[in-house]
Amino acid sequence: MGDHHHGPAKGLTRWITTTNHKDIGSMYLWFSFAMFILGGAFAMIIRAELFQPGLQLVEPSFFNQMTTMHGLIMVFGAIMPSFVGLANWMIPMMIGAPDMALPRMNNLSFWILPPSFLMLASTLFMDGGAPQAGWTFYAPLSTTYAPPSVTFFIFSIHLLGASSIMGSINIIATVMNLRAPGMTYMKMPLFVWTWLITAFLLVAVMPVLAGAVTMMLMDVHFGTSFFSAAGGGDPVLFQHVFWFFGHPEVYIIILPAFGVVSQIIPTFSRKRLFGYDSMVYATASIAFLSFIVWAHHMFTVGMPVAGELFFMYATMLIAVPTGVKVFNWVTTMWRGSLTFETPMMFSIGFLILFTIGGFTGLMLSIAPVDFQYHDSYFVVAHFHYVMVAGAIFSMSAAIYYWLPKWCGRMYNEKMGQLHFWVSFVGFNLAFFPQHFVGLAGMPRRIPDYALQFTDFNMMSSIGAFIYGAAQILFLYNVIATIVSGKPTSEEKTWEGAEGLEWTIPTPAPYHTFETPPAVK
């Protein structure tokens, strides 16, 4: 094979041509952080406008571009790539593999992202502006009534989808083929399990999104009528196709977060994860159920009552495996020996706040009551609880947890705690009041509101700014750690940590597990 252990290449070429899972993981993480800041900036504009009633800062049409781009960038640019980055870094190390199964495709999967997002962001400067039909871009607002940028938006989505699909194929191939001898499926860390299942979900539904946007493209440019009654089509068809993708998508977002938390809580409880087998089955059940609940996003669209009942029952059912997971995490903590370093704080925060989001999800699943919740701020509050306090808190936990292993330096614990507490307070101040205004009748996606919603909107905006500031603190923490954190060479950074990634040197060498380890 020849001796190629001369370390990574130098300069920019290294990053463009790398096939190393650690390099690619780092690129995904940094890219997603940049997207997080961009999407966050759009959120700041939104909350600044909503600070008071009246239109102060932006035109309604630009406001709609902001809400749309905030959603698209956060979902497709921040959350998804960040967890893919984590997968790239951690999966090979956790299963004792030297790299991902398809390293060159791995490189392509990442490098599709920057041009795709550049194209998406550039729509802000096009005639007619960026897409403004919401991240769910219902037709015909997003087809017949869309600005010219819709074509670039569709192209961007296609590229993102391709990147996700290739990444998922890579993960499946890696997990199925490259586990160290002795690591059976039921011995894999739960993070690997959740990503394996997520990868199958992605491969199944990303093509459906591609189908939806291709039909949009056809309607806009080639005279078809998929979503127009004029030619025999139906706008509701768009909603069905989109949400058939969209619902599994939100589980794609949260399942890896479940995996992260399932690694961290046992470490800081100094106790094995309770009910490993159940956790695997619960994750699989959630994934399966996620395919048959999509129309709970469409309860007000005029479905026959039988359909509404089916989707209501199926959606309610998801509460069962999700509850099982929450109970298992709590029981992991019970009679453990708990310490509360930053990763654990974020994980406990996740546990509390994601559960609250889960409860509002259960409320939303009750179809007749959803008639009052749908398209109100109650929904906005729900999904921010599960996606921000769920996925993002989990990602923050993961960074603090594994950063020492990645770069051989400890973060400053006090700064980490500060980041947690400011985030926790800011987040709840931003989103808890949104439950109230939603229940009181404030719709989504409006730049201005009736006077009775003023106080809670003001609170929400202040909370959002606080939360935003905390993420700048996060960026500082990460950079300060990498540049000047206290060096550490402890293999097992955390006393209670278990798993193959804690048996290699700190910082992790460029190539690890070139010989597979023995797994008992």
Partner 1 sequence: MCFDVKRLYALAIGPVLMLMGLVSNGVWASESERSTVNMTPGVTEVGQQIYDLHMLILWICTIIGLLVFGVMFYSIYAHRKSKGAKASSFHESTTVEIAWTVVPFFILIAMAVPATKTLIEVYSFDDADLDIMVTGYQWKWKYEYLIDEGERVSFFSNLSTPQSEISNTEPKGEHYLREVDEPLVIPVNAKVRFLVTANDVIHSWWVPELAVKKDAIPGFINEAWTKPLKEGVYRGQCAELCGKDHGFMPIVVNVVSQDEYETWLASKQVEAAQVKQLMAQTFTFDELVERGKGVYERSCLACHGAKGEGGVGNAIAGSTIVTGEISTHLDIGINGVPGTAMQAFGGQLNDVDMAAVITYQRNAFGNNMGDIVQPIDVFNHKKG
Partner 2 sequence: MLQLSKNPSIDTAVKLAGVTVVMFAFVFVVMVPLYDVLCDALGINGKTSGEAYTAVDAQVDTGRRIKIQFIASNNAGMPWEFGATVPMMKVHPGAVNDTLFFAKNPMPHAMVAQAVPSISPARATEYFHKTECFCFNQQPLDGESSAQMPLQFIVDQDLPADIKTITLSYTLFDVTDMAKSAIAKR
Other C-beta atoms lying within 10 Å of the C-beta of residue 314: 18
Closest to partner 2 by CB, 228 vs 285, is 228
- 375: partner contacted, choices partner 1, partner 2, none (Cβ within 5-8 A by kind): partner 1
Residue 381 token pair: 């509050």
Burial of 2 from C-beta contacts in 10 A (0-12 / 13-18 / 19+) = exposed
As a whole number of Å, the end-to-end CA separation of the chain is 30
Comparing C-alpha atoms, which of 161, 115, 174, 134 is closest to residue 46? 134
Nearest distance in Å: CB 237, partner 1: 11
Contact assessment for residue 258 and residue 325, using Cβ atoms and an 8 Å cutoff? yes
- Does 354 help bind partner 1 (rule: CB under 8 A)? no
* Backbone φ and ψ of 6, nearest 5°: -110, 20
CB count, 10 Å around CB of 302?
Answer: 9
| 251 is a catalytic site residue | yes
The answer to whether residue 441 forms part of the interface with partner 1 (CB under 8 A) is: yes
Taking the complex as a whole, the smallest distance from the CB of residue 301 to partner 2 amounts, in Å, to 11
Please list every residue from 270 through 299 that binds partner 1, using CB under 8 A. Answer: 270-278
Least distance in angstroms from the C-beta of 251 to partner 1: 19
Count Cβ atoms below 10 Å from residue 333 Cβ, excluding itself: 18
User: Of 18, 109, 262, 461, which one is the catalytic site residue?
Assistant: 262
* CB distance 419 to 474 below 8 Å: yes
491 annotated active-site: no
Q: Which is nearer to partner 1, 17 or 300 (CB)?
A: 300
Contacted entry of partner 1, partner 2, none for residue 449, CB cut-off 5 to 8 Å set by kind = partner 1
Positions 276 through 335 that interact with partner 2 (CB under 8 A): 302, 304
- Residue 223's binding partner out of partner 1, partner 2, none, with CB under 5 to 8 Å set by partner kind: partner 2
If one asks whether residue 300 binds partner 1 (CB under 8 A), the answer comes out as yes
Nearest to 399 by CA among 5, 36, 15: 36
Q: Which two tokens stand for residue 237?
A: 């068809």
507 binds partner 1 (CB under 8 A): no
Stretch touching partner 2 by CB under 8 A, among 15-23, 64-72, 224-232, 350-358: 224-232
Which of these, 195, 308, 282, 297, lies nearest to 246 by C-alpha position? 297
Q: Which amino acid is at 416?
A: G
Out of 9, 126, 366, 462, the residue judged to bind partner 1 by CB under 8 A = 366
Q: Which residues bind partner 2 (CB under 8 A)?
A: 223, 228-232, 234, 302, 304
Q: Which residues are catalytic?
A: 70, 99, 135, 163-164, 247, 249, 251, 262, 296-297, 322, 325, 444
